[in-house]
Structure 1
Amino acid sequence: MGYPNLQDNKITILVVPFPAQGHLNQLLHFSLLLSSHGFPVHFASSSIHNHQARYRLRGWTSTSLHNITFHDIPIPSLPPSTPNPNSTHSFPSHLVPVWEFVIHHLRSPICSLLHSLSSSSPLILVHDPVMSFVSDDAFSIPSIHTFKFQCVPANFILSYLDESTSKTYSDNHILFSPLPDIVPEEVWTFTKKYCYETSSEGMLFNTSRTIDGHFIDLLAKEDGFVGKKIFAVGPVSPLTVTDYKSGPRHPCLEWLDKQPLKSVVYVAFGSTTTMSDQQIKEIALGLEKSKQRFIWVIREADRGDISKEGELTREKSLLLDFDKRVEGMGMVVRGWAPQLDILAHGSTAAFMSHCGWNSCMEGMSMGVAMLTWPIHSDQPSNALLITDYLKVGVIVREWDKRDEVLKWEKVDEAIRKVMVDKEGLEIRRRAKDLGEKIRDSIEGGSSYEQLLAFINYISGFK
């Protein structure tokens, strides 16, 4: 089974991501995947966020980005966006004004781009659901075919189709109903304004049927989804990691090279999490007491423009002697770290994560056990999927304890459960098996077939 010959195919693809790291990353990976199969792919966002997406990309060859046409839309200086470690909720609300500002300045240029790219050939528009205005603007142009790219799994979408009714969707009676307080009210207002139902021919999921097949089948039967084309094409990130950056490797990878196989816990909470001072101290103590090897990425949530991030003075002042105390056992990375490289490394055994879907897919694809610490949005639901449904991880912090500082004993307990206890051996075995099944789905299995189905489908447009 192969891909159609695209040399004479004049179809063009335009990808429009939402300007947040977890969304930019997934859609850029998918863009590179499509370009590797011969499609001309355009990627449109602000110049600031296109730079962010390119700068943080991991796993592809140095020439891969040359196959993408980036539309770096200039915008005025962004509004201030400093994360608050003492916020009453954990969602990065400091970014909401930035997102509003960026979307406002992107709409007109992207509308012009839609007309330009669709003037001489069919255009496939792939957009983040939060950028629904793009679909509205494309609706009146007959040569454009629109698809939504979902950066969350199907079970999360299912849980919000009917918020008044709790639904048991899984065979083993796990309840995937809406969880309380996943985002503050101001964020719901933003989401309803920019993420709404629009006309589209279908949707793409960064997931594998190995993980999400049961829920995708259920979703396909729901109102608004019947008759839609649904393609589960994930993971869209590479399974074999290539050194994208030139120059020396990140020091944490050099450190990993010296550790025994499957001996290291990787700890990172994503690009939208800011921990309180007290919580950082408790995590540090838990890692130290566990006596297990670790890499811990300490950073605040992104600002709107990552090139203007602070010097991490707070993180340094909180852990003045920690590096010395754990020397030889652990490594602290202050700032950005090459997550995909770390997860792909043979020394990495487990991943303590906020459970953003991008991180979940990367961790599960690499066959590492997950230690779940959900912070906001789809993350609590993703954590349930990992621990209760797939059974490839353990809970570090339960969602009903979200307003409490988690004590070091709980951090220590979760790490030991995975890395030391007999129960952990079985969890790690299941995680390894799941990783192999996900890899098989890409290498000729269901995800390969779903990508092929999408390519064949859009190649039929003339």
Structure 2
Amino acid sequence: MAPYGTPENSQTAVVMVPLPAQGHLNQLLHLSRLLAAANLSVYYIGAATHVRQARLRVHGWNDSGTAAAAARIHFQEFETAPFQTPPPNPNSSNKFPDQLIPAITAAMSLRDPITAFVGRLSADFRRVVVIFDSLMSYVVQDLDSVSNAEAYCFRSVSAFTAYAIYWERRGMPAVAPGAEILREIPGSDGCFSPEFLEYTKHQQGAKKIFCADIYNSCNEIEGFFLDLLEKEKSTGADKVWPLGPFNPVSKLEPAGSACLEWLDRQEPDSVIFVSFGSTTSMSDEQIREIAAGLERSRQKFLWVLRDADKGDIFTGDVRKPDLPQGFEERTKKQGMIVRDWAPQLKILGHLSTGGFMSHCGWNSSIESISMGVPIVAWPMHSDQPRNAVLLTKVLRVGLEVRDWSSRDDIVGSDTVENVVMKLMACEEGNKIRKRARELGIKVRESTIVGGTSRTKMDAFIAHITR
């Protein structure tokens, strides 16, 4: 992205308030980079462990323009209430990552420190813009006490998912023309745990002081549903700002790790990337079935096999999932196992990557869309089942592994083998890959000068620096 912004922008400060979970931390850190490129001073805040986590894992920031922007991002660490860091439970009947609840709940103690911090900034800047995760509404509800502060709510999900939830809460009335797909979307059953729903009550009960919604999306992906959200004022806000994709979309330098070097030796579009994000913990039985299915498919694979995050990723032991005996030796020419944090953006942007077996978290989904890579959709919890419908039935850039109604069943190796073969070695997969590639081009073009996403970003910056 070409540099933009004016010296006058230095009169506005931006404060980012992310939820302390990887998919949320990462999206707002990428947005911080974009706003810092406009000569804005950005303050990214949170508990020390979560600020460290976000900085350690960010990738795609390897160009000179990004380096200059990064210098304008200030990381502000606060102490939160102490919290426990239980390990994830791979055998839980509900896949929601309840092990993160203590850390997320502890972040509610940031309410007074954040209000005080914004108050101090307000003395040095003409305007302080606070962009907060919708799941952190509780901690920013006192910002109306700062006269020159204004708040914007970041919705970490797709507009499609946000509208589906809004429609469901209204009792599923008659759908707008063009939105008939809503009738095929799975409900919220199995998406969340009781503990998380209890946490959300605090957020929903907080004072609503924000003036607009922000989405990590763009018109090329889901303009129809973005328009519906704004037209129907689904959250009470008058304005919707689609500023995505937040992640870098330019060609990334494919270097720096063994898995990228391995990809360099493979044929174009020949590898399926298998990764279920930072909140999925699979049972040993399910891992064995995936291994058998990948092996029998005879397709090249790059499999990130690691356990889900804890509330503090820097403490305690980490479970190392077991593979079938001899699997890695038998498949050493076919695939590669990665057990550490992987450079996902670079993998998705690599010419050898032809598919992505994913949990369909929005962070991963929009990265895959922007890189033009089709998805094998295997949702686990939260917004993921609805994102899977967007990917497979609306955008038609993916295939489903199974229906959400069968979420409690082990996915057998035959199913894994068949869906991998369908995407990677069949004509149907070639058509899906073509659509994904074309959509990726449109999304990337939207970020250049004159593109719809870039135009929205320029307008947003002009608005907050007015």
- Give yes or no for TM over 0.5: yes
Q: Which amino acid aligns with 1:190?
A: Y
Partner of 1:29: 30
Counterparts of 2:249 and 2:227, CA distance in 1: 25
1:387 aligns with 2:397: no
Distance change >3 Å, CA 435–CA 47, structure 1 → 2: same
1:357 counterpart (351, 356, 362): 362
Partner of 1:370: 375
Partner of 2:131: 126
Counterparts of 1:378 and 1:318, CA distance in 2: 29
Counterparts of 1:101 and 1:199, CA distance in 2: 22
Q: Is the 8 A contact 1:169 1:215 kept in 2?
A: no
Write out aligned runs for 1:87-126 (5 A). Answer: 87-104=92-109, 106-121=110-125, 122-126=127-131
Q: Is the 8 A contact 2:166 2:234 kept in 1?
A: no
Counterparts of 1:168 and 1:329, CA distance in 2: 47
Partner of 1:442: 447
Helix, strand or coil: the match of 2:54?
Answer: helix
Q: Which amino acid aligns with 1:97?
A: P
2:244 counterpart (229, 234, 253): 234
Helix, strand or coil: the match of 2:365?
Answer: helix
233-242 vs 161-170, which moves further: 161-170
Partner of 1:71: 76
Partner of 2:62: 61
1:198 aligns with 2:204: no
Counterparts of 1:428 and 1:188, CA distance in 2: 37
Counterparts of 1:260 and 1:2, CA distance in 2: 35
Counterparts of 1:309 and 1:320, CA distance in 2: 27
Counterparts of 1:449 and 1:400, CA distance in 2: 41
1:324 aligns with 2:325: no
Partner of 1:44: 45
Q: Which amino acid aligns with 1:387?
A: T
Partner of 1:185: 194
Q: Is the 8 A contact 1:312 1:334 kept in 2?
A: no
Helix, strand or coil: the match of 1:42?
Answer: strand
Deviations 1:394-438 (A, max 9, x none): 001220110000001111111111111111111010000000010
Partner of 2:263: 256
Q: Is the 8 A contact 1:302 1:309 kept in 2?
A: no
20-29 vs 170-179, which moves further: 170-179
1:217 aligns with 2:227: yes
Distance change >3 Å, CA 182–CA 227, structure 1 → 2: closer
Helix, strand or coil: the match of 1:45?
Answer: strand
Partner of 2:298: 291
Q: Which amino acid aligns with 1:118?
A: S
Deviations 1:316-353 (A, max 9, x none): x3344211111111001113111111001111010000
Partner of 1:278: 285
Instruction: Measure how far apart 1:3 and its partner are.
Output: 4.9
Q: Which amino acid aligns with 2:242?
A: A
Instruction: Measure how far apart 1:299 and its partner are.
Output: 1.2
Deviations 1:1-35 (A, max 9, x none): 99552346411111111100000000000001100
1:337 counterpart (342, 358, 361): 342
Helix, strand or coil: the match of 1:430?
Answer: helix
Q: Is the 8 A contact 1:110 1:134 kept in 2?
A: yes
**Fraction of identical pairs, as percent:** 39
Distance change >3 Å, CA 417–CA 309, structure 1 → 2: farther
Q: Which amino acid aligns with 1:390?
A: L
Aligned-residue RMSD, C-alpha: 2.0
Q: Is the 8 A contact 2:40 2:72 kept in 1?
A: no
Q: Is the 8 A contact 2:277 2:361 kept in 1?
A: yes
1:457 aligns with 2:463: yes
Q: Is the 8 A contact 2:88 2:99 kept in 1?
A: yes
TM-score normalised per structure 2: 0.93
Counterparts of 1:227 and 1:302, CA distance in 2: 33
Counterparts of 2:236 and 2:80, CA distance in 1: 39
Instruction: Measure how far apart 1:151 and its partner are.
Output: 1.0
Instruction: Measure how far apart 1:114 and its partner are.
Output: 1.2
Counterparts of 1:151 and 1:240, CA distance in 2: 22
Counterparts of 1:258 and 1:272, CA distance in 2: 30
Counterparts of 1:309 and 1:250, CA distance in 2: 25
81-90 vs 169-178, which moves further: 169-178
Q: Is the 8 A contact 2:9 2:465 kept in 1?
A: no
443-452 vs 251-260, which moves further: 443-452
Instruction: Measure how far apart 1:186 and its partner are.
Output: 2.1
Distance change >3 Å, CA 393–CA 167, structure 1 → 2: farther
Instruction: Measure how far apart 1:103 and its partner are.
Output: 2.4
Counterparts of 1:182 and 1:76, CA distance in 2: 27
Q: Is the 8 A contact 2:210 2:237 kept in 1?
A: no
Partner of 2:15: 14
Distance change >3 Å, CA 327–CA 230, structure 1 → 2: same
Instruction: Measure how far apart 1:383 and its partner are.
Output: 0.2
2-11 vs 194-203, which moves further: 2-11
Counterparts of 1:255 and 1:29, CA distance in 2: 27
Distance change >3 Å, CA 168–CA 290, structure 1 → 2: farther
TM-score normalised per structure 1: 0.94
Q: Is the 8 A contact 1:127 1:134 kept in 2?
A: no
Q: Which amino acid aligns with 2:240?
A: I
Counterparts of 2:8 and 2:111, CA distance in 1: 32
Q: Which amino acid aligns with 1:36?
A: A
Counterparts of 2:9 and 2:400, CA distance in 1: 51
Instruction: Measure how far apart 1:240 and its partner are.
Output: 2.1
Counterparts of 1:238 and 1:139, CA distance in 2: 33
